[in-house]
Chains A and B, each alone.
Chain A
């Protein structure tokens, strides 16, 4: 399957990917200003930029072939789609027990404590497409589209043994 890969050598740690991801997953997916200033709950990014001095890269869910979070989830909210391979969290079923966070080997799942507690994670923009109804979103994830330095790439697996 296609995943998002970071190119550390050209990631400049600007966090624009976080800004656009948070917006795309907010109540105003196409309006940065409203998403951040009007929406009551702070929009949260599902991609996280890790940085230390000159080293920086953006990390998000790897959509593992044998996803530990889906196995650990106590309610079955975390599922891997058998067709697309996308691991996503059904936020209506999620009870906020954080078991998935404990088992994720990449630390790619965040907590959303505002309102109903839910595990917040990358869905490869699969839900963004429905919300915005725009063609462009359906193909390439928002973070990849908005990275100003091509530090994120959406492509077929580069890791051996990964599907």
Chain B
């Protein structure tokens, strides 16, 4: 053994005047940061094991615990920051890729926070959503070039559409990366709310088939759990090309997370690593994508819209144009702040572009080419609150995907240790004693509450703008003004500066 240069990230503080030695913290920390010293009849803690997930802090009945940043300082250095140096110590010790979870924590600009919304004054009346009707219903799917009406009826059938009671869906998280209780919570919430959750690439567990009409089933590069019953179980099919947190790379679910249920759902042997290749090995061009889109449509009788999900990367607008022309009904774009159950740290923190810019660029491009009606746009990658949603829709999205916010509602504390499989909140884990910490009944209530609260806020703000239907906001960039942005950024976003 050689000397490890790793020092703790966090400091566990216990107020001994309040600690009643009940050992709830000991039982709740899966990282074993707390222990019971039977001889001293006292709790002890090991700072180095703490990941700052707040499980013990929240559960301690006497509020005796607090976690702080470990106070150890290096000599001040703006270039060699503590996290940069510690990463080197870690890699020098392990020789491995640095792994992480959730979305990037780097201080990149958040364009949502540099966009301001409009409100009605004098010349156009604002609307009170409590007294007047306010429509948030959203239809996702290909819209025809024109509507022909014969005898008061549509002459041609509309292409298949997804009907959402509010423009928010839960984005893809696979059973395997998250626990079954998370999937159950979100599926139930989607049903209550009249929206959709997404299976991710983990297949559909048998307990979840009953939520089929609120399910989007995903087909990803590993093709886990894909069979005819699966494709037909959902309301739409999503082809996953990329993910915002790790564009260009695949996925890897370690064998230890592949228990009986995951193995049956994914149709792979128990304890085997589930590796999703970086590319789909049958897609090397837009023509290949067309083929997969239509194979899936054929397999489901042309009854379900097909979504193609990509990560926001440099050429995103050209790629989106190709996807629209390839026959997708909906394009989902995932920004670089999007979450993940596990990703290489360097990829997460440096690859991809912000969703705000990607969305504006894609919407502008599709309009210029006259094909915006052919696809609906759904964006995700760190939608944090109701105004992010309104701004996204004003920039050109039809609806948003949320995942990190939904997990926060379920208890996630953003410790970024999802990849360890020891999530103390029962979310990113398959360990049965941890999974049962998330009661799906409570989870469904909390996720429903969050979206209901956002729904109220969206209505309130729409009313303030004098708009009574969310569809009238879609792409209405005049409702936005930029603040603190360069001309170039304003140009890409297609918005005026505040005061203009």
Contacts and interface: CB of A to CB of B under 8 A. Distances in A.
Interface string A54-81: 1010000000000000000000000000
A6 interface: no
A36 B62 CA distance: 11
**Residue with the highest number of chain A CB atoms closer than 10 Å, among B18, B437, B442:** B437
Contact of B436 (A9, A15, A148): A9
Contacts of B27: 13-15
A54 B433 CA distance: 4
Interface in A1-31: 9-16, 18-20
Contacts of B436: 9-12, 54, 149
A37 B439 CA distance: 32
B439 A19 contact: no
Chain A: number of interface residues, binned into ranges: 20 to 34
A151 interface: yes
Contacts, number: 57
A33 B63 CA distance: 10
A150 interface: yes
B442 A33 contact: no
B61 A150 contact: no
**Residue with the highest number of chain A CB atoms closer than 10 Å, among B18, B22, B441:** B22
The SS class assigned to the B binding surface is: loop
Given A32-B61, A32-B62, A33-B18, A12 B437 contact: yes
A151 B439 contact: yes
A18 B218 CA distance: 44
Given A20-B61, A149-B442, A150-B439, A15 B433 contact: no
**Residue with the highest number of chain B CB atoms closer than 10 Å, among A10, A53, A149:** A10
B59 interface: yes
Given A150-B441, A150-B442, A151-B439, A14 B59 contact: yes
Interface string A31-62: 01101110000000000000001101000000
A33 B62 contact: yes
Given A54-B431, A148-B59, A15 B439 contact: no
A107 to B, nearest CB: 21
Chain B: number of interface residues, binned into ranges: 20 to 34
B92 interface: no
A99 B17 CA distance: 40
B126 interface: no
B21 to A, nearest CB: 7
Given A10-B439, A11-B436, A36 B21 contact: yes
Nearest to A7: B439
B432 interface: yes
Interface in A70-120: none
B382 interface: no
Contacts of B22: 15-16, 18-19, 36
29 contacts: A10-B439, A10-B441, A12-B28, A12-B436, A12-B437, A13-B27, A14-B27, A14-B28, A14-B59, A15-B24, A16-B24, A16-B59, A16-B61, A19-B22, A20-B61, A33-B18, A33-B62, A35-B20, A36-B20, A36-B21, A37-B20, A53-B432, A54-B431, A54-B433, A148-B59, A149-B439, A149-B442, A150-B439, A151-B439
A13 to B, nearest CB: 6
Given A9-B436, A149-B442, A151-B439, A19 B59 contact: no
A12 B20 contact: no
Given A54-B431, A150-B442, A15 B21 contact: no
Contacts of A149: 436-437, 439, 442
Contacts of A9: 436
A9 B18 CA distance: 31
B249 to A, nearest CB: 33
